[in-house]
Chains A and B, each alone.
Chain A
Amino acid sequence: VTEIPSYANQSTAAAGASTDDFKSRMRELWRRWSGRILYLPEDQFFLFLAVLIGVFSGLSVVCFRIAIDWIQLTLLGPAPGPSPVRILVVITGGGLAVALLILKVFPRAQGSGVIRTKTAVYISNGYVPFQTVIGKFVTCAIAIGSGQSLGPEDPSLQMGAGIASKIGRSLRLSQEKIRLIAPVGAAAGLAAAFNAPISAVLFVIEEIIGTWSGGVLGAIVLAAVSSVVTMRGFLGAESLFRVPEFRVARPRELVAYAALGVVGGLVSLIFLKWIAYARPRIQKLPAWTRYFQPAIAGLLIGIIGIWFPQVMGAGYSVIDQAMHGQFSWKLLLALAALKLIASGLSFLSNTPGGLFAPTLFIGAMLGGATGAIEQHFFPSVAGTVGTFSLVGMGTFFAGFLRIPITSVFMVIEVSGNYTAILPVMISTMVAYLISRNYQKVALFDMLARQDGMALPSIEEQRERTALLVEDAMHVDGVILADAAESAAELINQAKARPGIPILIHLGRGDWRLIDPEELARLSPEVLESATAGGAKATGPLPTLFPDLLLDEALRAIGDSPVVPVVNRGDKGHLEGILTLSDVLRTFRNEQSG
């Protein structure tokens, strides 16, 4: 590039020649660099691809958000409180249009984006049809834009996964990478939708893949960051919500937030139970009713919206107002209840769209109302109604979606405010524990099971007690030989306890197994002077530690009939022994409960 000639002092002919030269040089440069990128080792190429996925997802989310706003402005108008007739016509008509589109044109756009992404990872080898991306974009933009009580985050997540899957398939990545690429795209989509990269990364780990695997974590982080950077380039870098900073002056003030956790946990439980109860019943209705379900839900939401237009759409501006203490506690409570009903109706009617934004909405209103009531009765409670709204968002999010860590970080990221961390942590954990205690199956697992899919439950994996070597090992049933011990004595011990293995430690963690029969074959003269250390022994044996996972132990045992379990601080100190049958028995016992 530095050798591009100056055009200023040259004739047109010379300029034309230089242009050709420049083009050929650029072509060569592109060939060389694209070759380098394409022939990178797949792991490194995957990281490069993650950035590309992030950029594509970020752009898609920008277009999606613009589409929703544009549809809303066109259909409902810019003025607050459109006429009741307009509200009812738009939302019902939108419902009919969406139903037709998802049933006739984009059948794959139905359902939760999170479950579709998990399906791609665990069932369809990372395959997310590109038609889903277009379907989600169109149907969700119409649904949310016409006033259905749903949010754009879950569709954004699925669009990201779809884009990633398409890119992975186009570049013919290995099966392993294609399976991993959908969560990478999902993180990018969610990060751009929320303007919250950390929460998106945590969500994908906490809900979709369930592990902190280094191979995929780097790609997820890169995709999330690049999508957020792209999105911010177009829509601005501001946090979703703005609340003033506050300080918890006295530890006892945290009790107020724990109380909010209880309220959030109980209400999230009501929402979960309602969906768990009503969804299978609505699914059992005759197939033709599906054409009208979104419209009927829309009509009901529209009726609510005539008096409470705040419940229509994603409702971010309403959350912002709640955080600025613009509503009385009665209105906050009414909005929480009505939004819960409206979002439930939208979701149960199979209208495409996400529950993330409604969850934040309900949480913010519930938090604000709880805060206002608490402040009325206990004026010394610190924090404004806005702070309670902020904390309430995370609380309800954790209780309903059962992703506690994501919830905490999400609150910090969407508000750009770290000062609420302690109240959020306490409130979130209380709500999560209440929800988990009274609703055993988490929302996404429940939805997958209702749809007949056996997707792995990350929460169950997280909660499952890991079996350790110490659960299976036994401390008796072994003859421990000292190297200086007489072989004759050892034979006597072996005879007294037939079938018991004899282990000997030869120093520096070198454990071996002595065969009693080999000892018995020694002549009496030799036996007289022989020691255990001089006996023929098999080994060195693999060693294990008591805190190792039993799955890992299974790999280590190999052909050894017995494996010594030793102390991590002193490998010569025997803690117990483990055999293959011990491992199998423990697994069997665990399975039988």
Chain B
Amino acid sequence: VILSGFFSLTAFLSRMYHKEIHVLADDMFAQGQANLKAGNPQEAVENLRNALKFVPGNEKFQMLLAQALAASGQYREARNYLETLLSESPGSGDINLELARIAAHEGKVAEAERYYHSAIYGVWENDPIAMRWMVRQELCDFLLAHGDLLQARPEIMALDENTPSNEIPHLKIAGSLLLRAGMWSGALRAFQAVLEADKSDVEALRGAGISAFELGHFADSQRYLTRLPREQLSSPEVQAKLSVSEGILGADPFLPELSTAQKAARASRAFQLAESNAKACLSKFSGSSAGSPTQAKLQQTLGQAQSSEAGWSERELERHPDRVDAAMKVAFELEDAASAACGEPQGDDHIIWLLGQSRKEAVP
């Protein structure tokens, strides 16, 4: 009887005590959450430490405390809580992500990568697919920010593959990552998918324009970039790409809509430009006795071009439109050789050279 009475009394006291303690702890936790959201991490740390005094083993409280500590720049302190939590739940996505962020802040690349991967393949209680996507995006961002393209590219590819085509914000993020990593075709595809849903999406137009430009699709690039609003057009990068695209479109003799005469005129002009550029380049070395292999190559290419120069006049090309390809080939070779000997060409020569590059990529 005494035992059961004592037991009942203890149970009653314990229930009341726990009720009171949890109310206090939850209240402090809520204050901590609010302070963290409001950007007062130090106050949040105090609230959460106090909450943990009442329920010391509460993992949710410890997790938020670690986040608050990290937010207030106390990375070592945050790491200690997280490592304790990790030893209890090694597969937790949340904990691994927080540790990854701390390692990233501290510039520990290998460690951050390890934790990010553990987070990606870890356990997530709510919406694991979205969380894994978000973590991978953060990892890609981190790797790109550290200039680690080798590690970043496979991660970005994986992210792109796991991005549903109807998730517009995700597609835009994936597209911009692909763009930053120089994965132009993937970026173009992603931005085109966005533009299918919203034709006037500025970010997508800009991304698609840049990626199309890099792929040598100058017509597409011009088409996308000219649709950008005025304030976006003033950006130096967009402006440069647009003017180059327009230049190439004005010089390209291969455009199907051109008449034979127009094609001949463009090809002849390209040849003349390339020839004079090659000559100018060679003249820079006229005083030097021993020529370098690049000079010799340029000399040889120019010699070959000049030997058949008569056939590539505007009139000849108009008469024989089948020679346009050969004329342009020589022009491209001349620009290539000149660029190897004297550096990347400028102005109209640059446009001819870029056109040649894009043709090389398009026709292997």
Which residues of chain A in 75-94 are interfacial with respect to chain B, using CB atoms and an 8 Å cutoff?
Answer: 78-80
Contact partners of B3 in chain A: CB under 8 A: 52, 55-56
In the A-B complex, list the 9 residue pairs whose CB atoms are closest, starting with the nearest.
Answer: A325-B80, A244-B83, A317-B53, A238-B57, A324-B80, A234-B14, A244-B87, A66-B17, A59-B10
B6 touches A238 (CB 8 A): no
CB distance from A248 to the nearest CB of B (A): 16
Q: When chains A and B are docked, how far (Å) is the Cα of A320 from the Cα of B53?
A: 9
Smallest CB-CB separation from A319: which chain B residue? B56
Contact partners of B54 in chain A: CB under 8 A: 78
A321 touches B11 (CB 8 A): no
Smallest CB-CB separation from A417: which chain B residue? B87
- Chain B: residues with Cβ within 8 Å of the partner, total of 31
Contact partners of A70 in chain B: CB under 8 A: 17, 20
Chain A CB within 10 A, most for which of B7, B11, B17, B54: B17
Known: A62-B13, A323-B80. 14 other contacts (CB 8 A): A59-B6, A63-B9, A70-B20, A78-B28, A80-B50, A234-B14, A236-B57, A244-B83, A244-B84, A244-B86, A316-B56, A320-B56, A324-B84, A386-B84
Asked whether A384 is an interface residue with its Cβ less than 8 Å from the other chain, the reply is yes
- Chain A: residues with Cβ within 8 Å of the partner, total of 32
Chain B CB within 10 A, most for which of A79, A80, A324: A324
Asked whether A283 is an interface residue with its Cβ less than 8 Å from the other chain, the reply is no
Q: When chains A and B are docked, how far (Å) is the Cα of A82 from the Cα of B218?
A: 71
A317 touches B10 (CB 8 A): no
Asked whether B76 is an interface residue with its Cβ less than 8 Å from the other chain, the reply is yes
Asked whether A414 is an interface residue with its Cβ less than 8 Å from the other chain, the reply is no
Q: List 20 A-B contacts (CB under 8 A).
A: A55-B3, A56-B3, A56-B6, A59-B6, A59-B7, A59-B10, A63-B9, A63-B13, A70-B17, A73-B20, A78-B24, A78-B50, A234-B10, A234-B11, A242-B56, A316-B56, A317-B53, A321-B49, A323-B80, A384-B83
Which residues of chain A in 42-66 are interfacial with respect to chain B, using CB atoms and an 8 Å cutoff?
Answer: 52, 55-56, 59, 62-63, 66
A320 touches B77 (CB 8 A): no
Contact pick for B84, options A78, A235, A243, CB 8 Å: A243
Chain B CB within 10 A, most for which of A52, A323, A326: A326
Asked whether B246 is an interface residue with its Cβ less than 8 Å from the other chain, the reply is no
Asked whether A582 is an interface residue with its Cβ less than 8 Å from the other chain, the reply is no
CB distance from A323 to the nearest CB of B (A): 8
B87 touches A69 (CB 8 A): no
Asked whether B21 is an interface residue with its Cβ less than 8 Å from the other chain, the reply is yes
Chain B positions within 8 Å of A, measured between CB atoms, are: 3, 6-7, 9-11, 13-14, 17, 20-21, 24, 28, 46, 49-50, 52-54, 56-57, 76-77, 79-81, 83-84, 86-88
Q: When chains A and B are docked, how far (Å) is the Cα of A264 from the Cα of B137?
A: 49
Asked whether A245 is an interface residue with its Cβ less than 8 Å from the other chain, the reply is yes
Chain B CB within 10 A, most for which of A238, A242, A323: A242
Chain A CB within 10 A, most for which of B10, B20, B28: B10
Contact partners of A79 in chain B: CB under 8 A: 50
Contact partners of A242 in chain B: CB under 8 A: 56-57, 84, 88
Q: When chains A and B are docked, how far (Å) is the Cα of A55 from the Cα of B50?
A: 32
Q: When chains A and B are docked, how far (Å) is the Cα of A346 from the Cα of B88?
A: 37
B80 touches A238 (CB 8 A): no
| Contact string against B for A residues 225-244, beta-carbon threshold 8 Å, 1 for contact and 0 otherwise | 00000000011101000111
Q: When chains A and B are docked, how far (Å) is the Cα of A384 from the Cα of B80?
A: 8
Contact partners of A55 in chain B: CB under 8 A: 3, 7
Contact pick for B81, options A69, A80, A317, A324, CB 8 Å: A324
CB distance from A83 to the nearest CB of B (A): 16
| Contact string against B for A residues 374-410, beta-carbon threshold 8 Å, 1 for contact and 0 otherwise | 0000000000111000000000000000000000000
A62 touches B76 (CB 8 A): no
Smallest CB-CB separation from B2: which chain A residue? A56
B6 touches A66 (CB 8 A): no
Contact partners of A73 in chain B: CB under 8 A: 20, 24
CB distance from A327 to the nearest CB of B (A): 9
Contact partners of B53 in chain A: CB under 8 A: 80, 317
Contact partners of B56 in chain A: CB under 8 A: 238, 242, 316-317, 320
CB distance from B44 to the nearest CB of A (A): 13
